[in-house]
Amino acid sequence: MLAKLAGFRLPITSYALQAMVTEPLKPALDTVVLSPGTGAYVSQSDKGEMVIGASLDLFPSYAQRGSFAVLQGIVAATLALFPSFSRLRLLRQWAGIVDVVHDSSPIIGPTPVPGLYINCGWGTGGFKAIPAGGWTLAHVLATGRNHELAEPFQLGRFITGRLIDEAAAAGSRTDDAAHMPVVRIARRERVRLRRHHSPHPAGPCGKRCDLGRIPLLS
């Protein structure tokens, strides 16, 4: 929405990602277990609840509920890992909204609008990666230059096609990716951006914000 107000488009789709917890148990699991094959992951909280999650609800949504069919799939995948959990009752379930980019990688840095910077598209992995995200965004704000770690994560990659395929690292299942509409939209999205000549090319650092020719929407 912010990008639209500013006159450009971000290649982001918002999906619900569900999580759920069971009734509490005595300590039974002292690590996080993740199945790359199904996407299911389980850990035990300090209170004893099993915290469970897995794949995205694969339709764009801002509803913080998630669908029952996906919940069933997550539970089935968890029971494939831990059949004895079938005797547990779920105490609660919810969904949060995650911003997914076509290559499952964040966008960190300047936008086509001088002085407007973004740090988004973290998808399902934003907690663990944000210290590096914050550090590299602070670097570009302070110096006007991208941090070398953030260089590949520029918005311009959706124009040049130099995408970073981190789907496997993000734990995305390959069959999910095949059915994910956003993956098929990716190539079309690139041509929606249009050339723009900013009347205010200088950013806060007094330098022109060069995005590799990312244009604004007209």
Positions in the binding site for ligand FAD (CB under 6 A): 1, 17, 19, 53, 96-98, 120, 122-128
Q: At closest approach, how far in Å is the CB of 20 from ligand FAD?
A: 9
Choice between 124 and 146, CB closer to ligand FAD: 124
Q: At closest approach, how far in Å is the CB of 53 from ligand FAD?
A: 5
Computed on alpha carbons and rounded to an integer, the radius of gyration of the chain in Å comes to 20
The sign one gets for the Cα dihedral 203, 207, 210, 211 is negative
Q: At closest approach, how far in Å is the CB of 104 from ligand FAD?
A: 11
Choice between 163 and 170, CB closer to ligand FAD: 170
In 3D space, the residue among 25, 24, 22, 3 whose CA is nearest the CA of residue 12 turns out to be 3
Q: At closest approach, how far in Å is the CB of 110 from ligand FAD?
A: 17
The residue assigned the tokens 């990008």 is: 3
Choice between 1 and 178, CB closer to ligand FAD: 1
- Which positions ≥6 away from 108 have C-beta within 8 Å? 118, 119, 133, 136, 137, 140, 146, 150, 153, 154
Choice between 68 and 127, CB closer to ligand FAD: 127
